[in-house]
Each structure stands twice: as C-alpha cells, then as structure tokens.
Amino acid sequence: MAQDEFPGWHGTTIIGVKKAGEVVIAGDGQVSLGQTVIKGTARKVRRLSPGGFDVVAGFAGSTADAFTLLERLEAKLEATPGQLARASVELAKDWRTDKYLQKLEAMLIVSDGKDLLVITGAGDVLEPEHDVAAIGSGGNFALAAARGMMSSERTAEAVARDAMAIAADICVYTNGNLTIETISA
C-alpha cells in the first residue's frame, strides 16, 4: 500500500515553555485516525533519565517512530552525559543519514531544564526564539498563544496550560487532556 493510500494520521500539540528557570513541556492526549478519535488519553510527553541525567521530551507524529527516536536519544545521552545539545545534534545527523531512520515521521521537543530544543527529521536542531517551541497540528495555535503570554506574570506551567487550552479550542486534532512535565535548570 502506497504512503498516500493510508488514512491521514493527524494530531497532537506539544509545547515547550522556558521561563523563570524552569521548562515545562505539555502535550495533549488525542490520537486521531482520519476524522475518528482513536484515543483521548495518550501520553506524548516523557521523562528520560539516562545515567541519572533528566531530560523531558514531547513528540508529535507516529508513535512507533517517536519511541524509536526517544530510544536513540537516550543512547546518545548515555554516550554524552549532561550534553543535551550534542546528543540532539548526533541524533539529528543519524536521522538524516540513516536509511531506516529517514523514513521516521515524528518531531521532538526536548529539554534538560537549561536548553529547549526542537529536533526534526530534516537534520534540524533548533533552539526557539522567545523561549517557546510548539509542534504538531495545533502547534502554531499554541505557539502564538504562548508568545502572547510570555511577558505576563504567569508561570511557565500556566503559559503552557493556557496555550494548550487555546490550541484545543481551535484544532480538532488536539484535546484538553494534558500530560505536563516540568524540569528546572
């Protein structure tokens, strides 16, 4: 079956907000197949602890592909403890050059509390401007909402929650069932 014959997988909004010494990564719980909601309580934000070094990661895209990438990221972090940026670049290089990994359809937002990064299959490791990153079908809605709140007195978690609520109100592939992980610098 050709790729374009599969029903459209849509879904998910993941946001990372870095503010006042902490980073919050939040993700919704909806998994959709075409126009059908398959599950509303998926956990798309995970805490990784390779070698006692905490990293929070959120993923958008194919779940199996994302778990493959998370496993690879953990291995890179074990090889370069405490160096999230280096491990992310190594993962992105592999993702871009390895024939197996090139077929993976997912994106990651990762943080160690210091850095907030977006990792893509195009070989990109991006540090977002304005300390906010968002991916997935509702990502642009959440990003715009969060950027509008960053100068307020809200905490990083409050910004993430409110931005996700706005995205869930606009994007039909995003729900309000959140998984939130916080990590401090």
Catalytic residues: 12
Cα dihedral 125, 45, 174, 178, rounded to 10, equals -140
Inter-residue contact 159 to 19 (CB < 8 Å): yes
What distance, in Å, lies between the first and last C-alpha atoms of the chain? 46
Q: What's the CA angle centered on 129, arms 124 and 135, to 5 degrees?
A: 55
What's at 62, amino acid-wise?
Answer: S
Inter-residue contact 183 to 22 (CB < 8 Å): yes
Q: Which helix (H) or strand (E) holds 168?
A: helix 156-170
Inter-residue contact 17 to 159 (CB < 8 Å): yes
Question: What does the alpha-carbon distance between residue 106 and residue 103 come to, in Å, rounded to a whole number?
Answer: 10
Give the length of the chain.
Answer: 185
Inter-residue contact 138 to 13 (CB < 8 Å): yes
